Structure 1
Amino acid sequence: MAETQSRLGEANQRAQAKVDKFEARRAELADAALSTLSRLGYARTSLRDIAENTEFSHGVLRYYFDDKLDLITQCIRQYKAVCVKRYDVATTTAATQDELLDGFIAQLSETLVAETHLHRLWYDLRSQALFEAALRDDVQKIDSDLEQMIWRVVARYAEMEGGSPKLSPKALYALFDGLFQAALAQVVAGEDTAVSEMEKELRALFPAIA
């Protein structure tokens, strides 16, 4: 009996290791594909386009991903997971409201400029989810994660003064997302004041909502 259980345990471990290896490979391929996707966008990118711009063959991509939608959602899921963690660092390390505000805005401004194409891809994908049912669950999950991230930042800011946010998580996310998307459009259009205008709006917004 004990020997049988041991063999089953080993078999389960091997099966799990195989799954982990498969998922790790998907993550590696998604990271490699992000550059091409962010440059070309959802509509103009195929698995063949990605294969031509990476070291991986079309056959390899087809083995690990069902289709373009599967690959794109994996890419965005990984990227947004990193984004959320960035702002959590600013929230947990700040000792004052000014430190929290400065850290949050610095991170937001940096990613707006350094990762413009990736954010543009996210908004492209979110728009496509209105038409592609296969995208909706992933997009809604990412939106929910971002909403909670904004809530943690604002709630922490308010808590430092013994208060609480004046708006719901959904309303707060809509405000911040709207400001960021507008700034992104300005950056894409080459407007030099995009970052400074966003920062000014955010500094005025925080005291009003918390």
Structure 2
Amino acid sequence: MARRALSAAERVSEAAEALREEKFNARRIELAEAALETLAELGFARTSLRDIAQNSAFTHGVFHYYFSDKLDLICCCVRHYKAKCVTRYDEVTATAQSRDELMEGFLAKLAATLRDDARMHRLWYDLRAQALFEAAFRKDVTEIDKSLENMVWRVASRYAELGGKQPAVSSSVLYALFDGLFQNYLLKQLSNDPEAVSGLIDEVRRLLPTIC
């Protein structure tokens, strides 16, 4: 059945509703940005909406208006942060013309993210661990995990392609290898190990050519 044509008033009403939703979502992102530092510092279990409000320019009531509870806010925060993370290596992957160029570009960005964003990555692993107990987190965590798996696969498959090869393992195995390495060296970095960054880079430099 053909859809009835909307009247001018209905079109205006729909446009206004879409604009309100867009503004609402933009405000949620703004609040999530403000909350990330506190969450990254204190972690899931030790952070309340009141803590977040006290460490931001927004009131407790504002956070309650835009988020149903702490779980809603934290899921929004991590989705927003990880959405930016998963494109971190895309430029070097797209522009590299040799395996060496891709390797060095990838390792430089990998070193920077471990060195500069350790607390944010810690928040991600905290949330992923909580998903074992909190059903509310599982859908988001599963989707984020898949996007990270795809991110690693884009790098590895391009690296293999530049050498006329195919990756020797599946994307899920490859992700498990890289994720395990990264989490291990993240703990070292958070423990102020001066060799954490160089250790991760050395491991990846050895690993990638053996499987790609």
What is the CA-CA distance between 1:7 and the residue it aligns to? 2.1
3-state DSSP of counterpart to 1:200: helix
What is the CA-CA distance between 1:6 and the residue it aligns to? 2.4
Superposition CA RMSD, Å: 1.2
Indicate whether 1:79 and 2:81 are aligned.
Answer: yes
3-state DSSP of counterpart to 1:179: helix
3-state DSSP of counterpart to 1:165: coil
Residue aligning to 2:167: 165
What is the CA-CA distance between 1:8 and the residue it aligns to? 1.7
Question: 2 CA distance for matches of 1:104 and 1:195?
Answer: 13
3-state DSSP of counterpart to 2:88: helix
Question: 2 CA distance for matches of 1:6 and 1:108?
Answer: 52
Residue aligning to 2:143: 141
Change (3 A) 1:140 1:4: closer
Question: 2 CA distance for matches of 1:201 and 1:3?
Answer: 61
Question: 1 CA distance for matches of 2:189 and 2:42?
Answer: 17
**Higher share in helix:** 1
Question: 1 CA distance for matches of 2:11 and 2:166?
Answer: 49
What is the CA-CA distance between 1:57 and the residue it aligns to? 0.5
Indicate whether 1:119 and 2:121 are aligned.
Answer: yes
Residue aligning to 2:130: 128
Residue aligning to 1:54: 56
AA at the equivalent of 1:82: K
Task: Structure 2 unaligned segments of length 5 or more: list them.
Answer: none
Question: 2 CA distance for matches of 1:3 and 1:197?
Answer: 63
Residue aligning to 2:197: 195
Question: 2 CA distance for matches of 1:3 and 1:157?
Answer: 52
AA at the equivalent of 1:181: Q
AA at the equivalent of 1:59: G
What is the CA-CA distance between 1:107 and the residue it aligns to? 0.8
AA at the equivalent of 1:40: L
Normalised by the size of structure 2, how large is the TM-score?
A: 0.96
Share of identical aligned residues, percent? 54
1:52-78 CA distance string (max 9 Å, x none): 000100100000001101111111111
Match of 1:104 among 106, 110, 135: 106
What is the CA-CA distance between 1:164 and the residue it aligns to? 1.0
Indicate whether 1:35 and 2:37 are aligned.
Answer: yes
What is the CA-CA distance between 1:93 and the residue it aligns to? 1.5
Residue aligning to 1:207: 209
What is the CA-CA distance between 1:3 and the residue it aligns to? 9.1
Runs (4+) of structure 1 moved beyond 6 Å?
none
Question: 2 CA distance for matches of 1:181 and 1:126?
Answer: 12
Aligned residues: 209
